[in-house]
Amino acid sequence: MTCGEAQYKLVSMCKKSNDSMTLNECRSQTLEITHNNIVRKVKLPELSKFSARLYQKVGGNINELYVTQWGCGHSDKINVAILYYSIGGGSAPYADSSAMYAATGVLIEDEKFEKYRNATRDGLGHLKSVRSIMPD
C-alpha cells in the first residue's frame, strides 16, 4: 500500500482454518515501511504509547492483536496510513485497536493526533482486509 510518501508492506504468515467460524493461525506480523529509500521494519503490533497503556488498562494482551485491515486517509493535503488491529472478534473493550502513520511512515503519537483527525476519519471509511487471523 502506498500512502503519502511512504510504501507499506505487511508480512503476515497465516495458516488457514478449516472453516469460516475458526480463526486462522498466524505468526507475528511485520511491517516494512519505505520512505526516501530507507526501509524500517517493525514487529507488530506497534501502538502509540497512550494506546498501548489504554489497551493494557482494559485487560488486553497486546501480543494477541493482529492487523486485520488497513487503509490510507486523505484530507487537506495530509495523508495517514491506518492499521486496524483485532483479536479476532468479540465485544470486549480490548477486542480492537488501531495505529496511524504520517505521510513519512512515522507512527503518530496521540498528542499530535488532532492534526490528522480528518484524514484518519476518511481512512477509516476505506479500510481493506489483509491476510490475518480472520477466516476467509
Q: Which residue did the predictor score with more confidence, 75 or 113?
A: 75
Q: In what order do the strands lie in the sheet with 78-86?
A: 96-101, 78-86, 66-75, 128-129
Q: Is residue 46 part of a domain?
A: yes
Total number of domains in the chain? 1
Beta bridge partner(s), residue 38: 35
Q: Is residue 90 part of a domain?
A: yes
Would you say 73 and 135 are in contact if contact means Cβ atoms under 8 Å apart? no
Q: Is residue 135 part of a domain?
A: no
pLDDT at 115 over 90: no
Q: What range does the domain containing 57 cover?
A: 2-129
Q: Is residue 136 part of a domain?
A: no
Q: Is residue 28 part of a domain?
A: yes
Q: Is the peptide bond before 93 cis (omega within 30 degrees of 0)?
A: no
Q: What pTM value is reported for the model? A: 0.86
Q: Is residue 134 part of a domain?
A: no
Q: Grid coordinates representing 132?
A: 490475518
Q: What is the mean pLDDT of residues 19-46?
A: 90
Q: What is the mean pLDDT of residues 97-103?
A: 90
